[in-house]
Amino acid sequence: MVVGVCTVELFIGESQSLKDKRQVLHGLKDRLRGKFNLSVAEVDGQDLWQKAILGMACVANDGRFVSQVMEQALNMIKSMPSVEVVRTQQELL
């Protein structure tokens, strides 16, 4: 069993309130869950308007598959115009 864990620090420049931020994150998390079957949660920065840190996890029996899914998920996040990726960290367990 291989577990892939990734944290993504995001900057949401257009957000003017926590409500705006949560609306953007809700859509992003739903897309990640639906398209890649990832577990996704906001793990830090919940009280900040323009910053969010998402945690993503994927479990499979092949490390290459887990890495590929995480890379595709990161590419999808980077392609979204409403968020800017500040930093990422990936780890396979």
pLDDT, tens digit (0-9, with 9 covering 90-100), for 10-28: 999 999 999 999 999 999 9
- Strands (E) across 29-71 are located at 39-44, 51-60
What's the rounded Cα separation, in Å, for the pair 55 and 5? 7
- Judge whether 40 and 32 are in contact, CB under 8 Å: yes
The CATH number of domain 2-92, selected from 3.40.250.10, 3.40.50.150, 3.30.70.260, 3.30.70.1120? 3.30.70.1120
pLDDT tens-digit readout, 51-60: 999 999 999 9
| Separation between Cα atoms, residue 71 and residue 82, nearest integer Å | 19
Is the whole model's pTM more than 0.75, yes or no? yes
**What pLDDT does 25 receive?**
95
Domain residue extents for the chain = 2-92
